[in-house]
Chain A
Amino acid sequence: GAVVSQHPSRVICKSGTSVKIECRSLDFQATTMFWYRQFPKQSLMLMATSNEGSKATYEQGVEKDKFLINHASLTLSTLTVTSAHPEDSSFYICSARVPLTDSYNEQFFGPGTRLTVL
């Protein structure tokens, strides 16, 4: 099956610093990847859709200058949380869309990255 990895799995940073999270599709090429944020005991909320070679599409209320997304290759998308603050502490999950599949189950999720901002 399609495998998606994330790195790092956990990161702790100081307030005001920037943190980069990587999302990789390991055995397929993904033209589209998605970034979600999940607060404790809450659901996954879509932050943005990342398209290879073009600008990401951000959901309403998500600051594009704070959450920088780069999808420079067909197997890698990165999310950079700039000038992180404690309220950015969350579980960040990416998913990758398997192209040209006959199945409607076309999104495969990474294991998530726990960000803690002190």
Chain B
Amino acid sequence: GESVGLHLPTLSVQEGDNSIINCAYSNSASDYFIWYKQESGKGPQFIIDIRSNMDKRQGQRVTVLLNKTVKHLSLQIAATQPGDSAVYFCAEKRTSGSRLTFGEGTQLTVNP
């Protein structure tokens, strides 16, 4: 089956704290994963990606962890800032195709 968003989990953190956003994916054949940030009324914005032959990848203030055994993906944001407030989606795809399947999303709210 495919990941389908039916509700929107929320995460509220204090400014300066680290945030961890989780995502469970369903297709064991997926071998490429992306995290997107979506601000209100805007399209998704690429944050970071990871291939299935890796279990960790770091960017600027962000880290993605992949656990293929339990089909789990996480996004860690260091020193979270008010500008990080948005909905975060994970997406998966197979390298043999272009189709992206989006996870349910998490609403991150950063309190000053």
Is B one of A's binding partners? yes
User: What A residues does B7 contact at CB under 8 A?
Assistant: 41-42
Give the B-binding residues of A (Cβ under 8 A): 4, 6, 32, 34, 41-46, 49, 91, 93, 95, 97, 104-112, 114
Give the total number of A-B pairs whose CB atoms are below 8 A apart.
63
Known contacts A104-B49, A104-B51, A105-B34, A44 near B44 by CB under 8 Å: yes
Minimal Cβ-Cβ distance residue in A for B89: A43
Do B102 and A43 touch (CB < 8 A)? yes
Interface digits, B28-56 against A, CB 8 Å rule (1 contact, 0 not)?
00001010100001111110010100000
Chain A interface, DSSP helix/strand/loop, else mixed? strand
Looking at the assembled complex, report how far the CB atom of A3 sits from the nearest CB atom of chain B, in whole angstroms: 11
Minimal Cβ-Cβ distance residue in B for A41: B8
Give the A-binding residues of B (Cβ under 8 A): 3-8, 32, 34, 36, 41-46, 49, 51, 89, 93, 95, 98-105, 107
User: What B residues does A46 contact at CB under 8 A?
Assistant: 99-101
Do B98 and A44 touch (CB < 8 A)? no
User: What A residues does B42 contact at CB under 8 A?
Assistant: 111-112
Known contacts A104-B49, A109-B43, A42 near B100 by CB under 8 Å: no
Do B98 and A93 touch (CB < 8 A)? no
Do B32 and A104 touch (CB < 8 A)? yes
Looking at the assembled complex, report how far the CB atom of B35 sits from the nearest CB atom of chain A, in whole angstroms: 11
Minimal Cβ-Cβ distance residue in A for B32: A104
Do B103 and A43 touch (CB < 8 A)? yes
Q: How far is B46's CA from A111's CA once the two chains are assembled, in angstroms?
A: 13
Known contacts A43-B105, A111-B43, A106 near B98 by CB under 8 Å: yes
Minimal Cβ-Cβ distance residue in A for B49: A105
